[in-house]
Amino acid sequence: MQNLRRTMLYVPGNNPGMIRDVHIYGSDSIMIDLEDSVSVHEKDAARLLVYHSLKTLDYGNTEVLVRVNALNTPYGRKDFEAMVRAKPDAIRLPKTETAEDVLEADQLISKIEQEIGMEQGTIKLFAAVESAKGVLNAQQIATASDRLIGIAIGAEDFVTDLKTTRSLEGIELLTARSLVLFAARAAGIAAVDTVFSDVEDEEGFTNEVKLIKQLGFDGKSIINPRQIDIVHKVYTPTEEEIRKSLRIIEAIKEAEEKGSGVISVGGKMVDKPIVERARRVLDLADASKCGTRWM
Ligand SMILES: CC(C)(COP(=O)(O)OP(=O)(O)OC[C@H]1O[C@@H](n2cnc3c(N)ncnc32)[C@H](O)[C@@H]1OP(=O)(O)O)[C@@H](O)C(=O)NCCC(=O)NCCSC(=O)C[C@@](O)(CC(=O)O)C(=O)O
Ligand SMILES: [Mg+2]
């Protein structure tokens, strides 16, 4: 079983009110941030707050990730030491540039798991690539560790690295998004798109969600509860898509009973990949209806 990851809601790790309430908005995952939303003056206080929050709060079925600081910063190691002990579902590695970055994190988590008697492999990893180097190494990053459950792109840092800015059309991100997506699919892990920073621009946000869904992403990192329903709506199959998928499954069953793997539905050829897509639509419809778990 795999989690639905349409929405991964960032919450700043220095904001106790938001951390307490973040799961009530209904995102598929929450991602408590110790990195760029927390100033250097508050890193230690935020780490302590997040540790105690994870030890005491119950987020129910919602997947919980913590974005730590990178291991090449003064905060990274302390973040790992505390967060593995706090036991989120996964740790998100920011600014991942090489497979070695993932391996270093993997080995540190293994060491801490061993020290505290936690089963090896309990804490999963999610790698975010946010630079040209990270994107070009996405394939190696995505296969670097068995702990990796997904790879994400962080566009604000990425466009800064490229020496450009973000446009609403996202032309500057197309190659990077595609490479990250290919790496995820080849490795069999989740692919999550980046944040859209203007929470007031619903139209721009909706267009971006449609684009990344069409590219093949499983979902999006988001920064505000107002963005959740928009993503879920785009990702939930329509009545028409569900009806069409049911017709395809029915038709291929009949064809197979007659010894054929191909049939025409409404004038269009239906064969194995189309059946697989129809099954995915039905799985997604089921999962969207009944909560977070789906095949
Ligand atoms: C944007 C804004 C300030 C707007 O504030 P506003 O106050 O105008 O929001 P309102 O809508 O008015 O809030 C209505 C109610 O919702 C509550 N509420 C709001 N946001 C909530 C939330 N996130 N979690 C729980 N609760 C929330 C709020 O407390 C209020 O509750 P109440 O008072 O009870 O009614 C706020 O949302 C916010 O801080 N967002 C998170 C920002 C953040 O984490 N950035 C770091 C990650 S990105 C990054 O690092 C770049 C990246 O790395 C990314 C990549 O990897 O892709 C890259 O490189 O690209
Ligand atoms: Mg970033």
**pLDDT at residue 118 above 80?**
yes
pLDDT of residue 291: 52
Give CA–CA dist 245/270, Å, rounded: 11
- Give the residue-averaged pLDDT of 160-173: 98
Q: How confident is the model at residue 261 (pLDDT cuts 50, 70, 90)?
A: confident
Q: Which ligand is nearest to the CA of 166?
A: 1
Give yes or no for a contact between 68 and 43, defined as CB atoms under 8 angstroms apart: no
Instruction: Look at residue 293 and tell me if it is in a domain.
Output: no
Instruction: Look at residue 115 and tell me if it is in a domain.
Output: yes
CA–centroid distance, residue 23 to ligand 1 (Å): 13
Ligand 1 binding pocket, CB closer than 6 Å? 9-12, 18, 22, 33, 36-37, 128, 130, 152, 154-157, 194-195, 199, 221, 223-226
Which positions make up the binding site for Mg(2+)?
130, 157
Residue nearest to atom 14 of ligand 1 (CA): 225
ipTM, interface predicted TM-score of the complex: 0.98
Give yes or no for a contact between 132 and 163, defined as CB atoms under 8 angstroms apart: no
**pLDDT at residue 292 above 50?**
no
CA–centroid distance, residue 95 to ligand 2 (Å): 7
Q: What is the average pLDDT score of the chain? A: 95
Neighbours of ion ligand 2 (CB under 5 A): 130, 154, 157
Give CA–CA dist 263/243, Å, rounded: 17
Instruction: Look at residue 148 and tell me if it is in a domain.
Output: yes
Could you give the number of structural domains in the chain? Answer: 2
Q: Are residues 189 and 140 in the same domain?
A: yes
pLDDT digits (tens, 9 = 90+) for 64-114: 999 999 999 999 999 999 999 999 999 999 999 999 999 999 999 999 999
Q: What is the pTM of this model?
A: 0.95
Atom in ligand 1 nearest the alpha carbon of residue 35: 50
**pLDDT at residue 295 above 80?**
no
Structural domain range at position 115: 7-235
CA–centroid distance, residue 130 to ligand 1 (Å): 20
Burial 22-53 (b: 16+ CB within 10 A, else e): bbebebbbbbbbbbbbbeeeebeebbebbbeb
CA–centroid distance, residue 261 to ligand 2 (Å): 47
Q: Are residues 185 and 281 in the same domain?
A: no
Specify the CATH number for the domain of residue 86. 3.20.20.60
User: What does residue 57 show for φ and ψ, rounded to 5 degrees?
Assistant: -90, 150
Residue nearest to atom 54 of ligand 1 (CA): 154
pLDDT digits (tens, 9 = 90+) for 10-38: 999 999 999 999 999 999 999 999 999 99
Residue nearest to atom 19 of ligand 1 (CA): 224
pLDDT of residue 270: 87
Q: How confident is the model at residue 266 (pLDDT cuts 50, 70, 90)?
A: confident
**pLDDT at residue 183 above 50?**
yes
Instruction: Give just the sign of the alpha carbon dihedral 252, 235, 237, 204.
Output: negative
Q: How confident is the model at residue 290 (pLDDT cuts 50, 70, 90)?
A: low
Q: Are residues 155 and 256 in the same domain?
A: no
pLDDT digits (tens, 9 = 90+) for 204-225: 999 999 999 999 999 999 999 9
Strand partners, 153: 129
Q: Are residues 179 and 256 in the same domain?
A: no
Q: Are residues 93 and 229 in the same domain?
A: yes
